[in-house]
Chains A and B, each alone.
Chain A
Amino acid sequence: MNSEDQKHAAEQWLNDALAHYGVAEPRAGLETRILANLDAHVSQRRRRWIFALAASAAVVVVFAMLMANVRGSRQDAPNHVARQTPPLEIKSANATQAAAIQRQRENLQLSAQRHATVHKPAAFLRAVGMKQESLPVVRPLSEQVAEQRPAPSINISDLKTIQAIEVRELTPIKEID
């Protein structure tokens, strides 16, 4: 076989082999299998999404509740305590206390009325029949004391007569039977 024949034979062999090389028939029902696989993939993906959404929603709700609790405990603590229903004993004590406060208020109002009457000097003097000039003038107390008790006069010679005091140790007291 010369080279030209060999070349020709090789060309023929190659064409034949390449023609069969690309022939590949899939098993029957390839489309059905692919579609079934796609359906499974889609449903799995949807399930994952649903699970992820549910999980994230749960996380958000828990977080929101935690935040609400923290904020409530920080800001509304006094109101919360005030809003609490007091026990029965405290309720009755409050009632008596309220009554006492009411009485005290009434007394205060009465005394204020009296005070108002007493501390209206012009009206009072008119009622009594006196004039304001006849009343003694109010002066500072120091001046009045100074008038009544004159300041003691101390002479230096008197100071010289003061004798020194002897300081002795205290003797223990004998117990009396």
Chain B
Amino acid sequence: MYLPEQVILSRTIPAQSADEQVEAVVRLHARFVYQVAYAVLRHPQEAEDAAQETFIRVWKHAKELSGVLNQRAWLARIAWRVAVDRRRKHPVASDDEDLLELPAGGAGAEESVIRSQQVALLERMVATLPRELRETLTLSTVEEMTSVEIAEVLEVPESSVRGRLLRARQLLREKLQVLMERNQKDEKKDFKAGADV
């Protein structure tokens, strides 16, 4: 039989004061909240500030904490809203799609640089997606976040979450294919130019 986390906690842990409950939640879910905020803001310091603000809100609603069945989803929703508000206040400038350049593959010491370039490119591509697809895909990248929790955060049915994820991946794949074709053409041109010289 499936029991939500809060129910299990309430059965195993004796009654605590509100401050103690908040402290326990911080210790248990701080990293998760940070990751949700980071998925939206893509900036470590901003994500930490958002996590702080999230837990301040949690502390303000500490009385409701004992009645929450799924704490992770509840926290994710608060963190999501906080992060979206912060991004609205300090919007990140998105680059033009034409400036995108596919990083070349590599191994060894250059791998971390290549990976960061890869993630940066993905960030730019995700930024070009429609809002609902972008939000769903962003939340799906957060570690251990299930489609049920994403559905709770976005307040949509779980089937919509799945559909949006498929659509988002499809769009990203198409963009990637266009970029790959452009890269191949550029390589051929360079090769021809080198041969002429």
Contact = CB atoms under 8 A, between A and B. Distances in A.
B59 A14 contact: no
Nearest to B118: A17
A33 interface: yes
B173 A22 contact: no
Interface string B160-194: 00000000010011001100110010000000000
Interface of B: 19, 22-23, 26-27, 30-31, 34-35, 38-39, 44, 47-48, 51-52, 55-56, 59, 115, 118-119, 121-123, 126, 140-143, 169, 172-173, 176-177, 180-181, 184
Nearest to A30: B30
B78 to A, nearest CB: 13
Interface stretch (A3-11, A75-83, A103-111): A3-11
B44 A22 contact: no
A46 interface: no
Interface string A6-26: 110111011011101111101
Interface residues of A, number: 28
Nearest to B169: A14
A6 B177 contact: yes
A24 B26 contact: no
A6 B59 contact: no
Contacts of A3: 177
Contacts of A42: 19, 59
A23 B35 CA distance: 8
Interface in A1-59: 1, 3, 6-7, 9-11, 13-14, 16-18, 20-24, 26-27, 30-31, 33-35, 37-38, 41-42
